[in-house]
Amino acid sequence: MQQRLASLAACATLLAAVAAAWTKPANAHHSFAMYDGNKTYVFTGVITRVSPDASHLSIFFAPLNEARDAVVRDASGDPVTWSVELRGAGQVAKEGVTVDNFPPGTIFSIGLHPLRNGLPGGGRGEYGLFKCPPQTPPAPGKHCDSVTGATSHGQGPLPTPTGQWSP
């Protein structure tokens, strides 16, 4: 009897392992409730760093002012830094978004849903990301998608903003 139970346990373990190996991993591993889906901002900024991670790639950037000739600064004169969360580093690498392709100093434009808590960050959602040519910011009030030679990286056009962030 004990030998039969041991054989059944071994079979069950083997079946569970095979099922787990063939199961497709879930794409949505957490809620996006931390982002305000009713608000959409569009930023053009200068990358300060890119943090690749298996679960999310995050881009940290200093937004450019409307004249596109300086980064936005806070009351003490320090550059404001925002972050935007994208999908996993492996997924966005297929769109050309990598640490090597987006080094510090890169000017880019992206749409995002801001964090509900008011901190300077957000999630990309289903929006495009555009990279300006090196040392070529867009015209005042425009974004990288309007610059000749800009490159598009994934998910379509920039969204129409539903709000405007101000420092």
Residue 151, Ramachandran bin (φ over 0: left; ψ between -120 and 50: alpha; else beta): beta
What pLDDT does residue 5 have? Answer: 39
Domains of the chain, start order: 41-152 (2.40.50)
For the stretch 133-167, pLDDT in tens is 999 999 999 999 999 999 999 878 999 999 889 88
Q: Which long-range contacts (CB under 8 A, 24 or more apart) does 128-133 make?
A: 128/152, 128/153, 128/154, 128/155, 128/156, 128/157, 128/158, 129/86, 129/95, 129/97, 129/153, 129/154, 129/155, 130/158, 131/101, 131/102, 131/106, 131/107, 132/44, 132/106, 132/107, 132/108
Flag whether pLDDT at 76 surpasses 50: yes
For the stretch 60-75, pLDDT in tens is 999 999 999 999 999 9
For the stretch 114-135, pLDDT in tens is 999 999 999 998 889 999 999 9
Average pLDDT over residues 98-112: 97
Task: Provide CB contacts within 8 A for 118, sequence distance 6+.
Answer: none
Longest CA–CA span in the chain (Å) reads: 81
What pLDDT does residue 69 have? Answer: 97
